[in-house]
Amino acid sequence: MPKKLFRRLIPHPSKQTDSAALRWLAPLISDPYLFQLNRRSVSLAFLVGLFSAFLPIPGQTLVAALLALLVRANLPISAALVWLTNPATMPPLLYLSYRLGSWLLGSPPLELNFHMEWECFTQQGKAILGPLVLGSVTMGVLSGIIGFLGVRGLWRWSVVRNWEARRKRRLLQKLLNEKMAD
């Protein structure tokens, strides 16, 4: 089931390299494993994509694509998962990351009194940078591991369920054939 769902959602690899905008990347993305839909490549794509989604930096999609190239994970899924953090979800996730980082460092979270002045931004930015980065990386690692294990488990459950259904169909067919022979 997951393989069929992903196959419908992901564009064919030849369409990726035929595009004029991506043609220059053809030597990098010509590895067919980057577009395969198997348990290993999809679960690694979830690990890479979810980890990259929580990084508090611009260019998360590029980071996810480079990590996917490095570990040979499914490239489209890795890049698409980064968009779980979008302009609507990023502020609360950054706040949660900051709170988690503060808790991990054992420091109380700061009361932020933000004014649109450069000095205010740099002073408060320095104070929240450490907890924010630590919290973001921690949330990225945890969500990536949960996504990795979740996809592996869901994939295995789906395969076992399909095998059981096939076994039951064969048994039923065998019983019907025996009954017809009598």
Per-residue exposure over 15-42, b if at least 16 CB sit within 10 Å of its own CB, e if not = ebbeeeeeeeeeeebeeeebbebebbbb
pLDDT given at position 30: 62
Q: How many CA atoms lie within 13 A of 100 on its CB side?
A: 17
Reading the chain (182 residues) residue by residue, the pLDDT tens digits are 466 666 666 666 555 556 666 555 555 666 667 777 889 999 999 999 999 999 999 999 999 999 998 998 998 899 999 999 988 988 889 889 999 999 999 888 777 665 556 666 677 777 788 898 999 999 999 999 999 999 999 999 999 999 999 999 999 998 888 888 76
* Residues 50 and 85: beta-carbon distance below 8 Å: no
The pTM for the full model equals 0.76
pLDDT given at position 146: 97
> Which residues does 107 contact at the CB level (< 8 Å), separation at least 6?
131
Q: Amino acid identity of 50?
A: L
Tokens coding 167: 């076994």
pLDDT given at position 37: 83
**What's the CA gap between 30 and 15, in Å, rounded?**
12
Of residues 160, 137, 153, the one with CA closest to residue 43 = 153
pLDDT given at position 180: 82
**What's the CA gap between 87 and 130, in Å, rounded?**
22
Q: Is 12 left (phi over 0), alpha (psi -120 to 50) or beta?
A: beta
pLDDT given at position 101: 93
Residue spans of alpha helices (H) in the chain: 2-9, 13-18, 26-29, 39-53, 60-71, 75-81, 90-105, 118-181
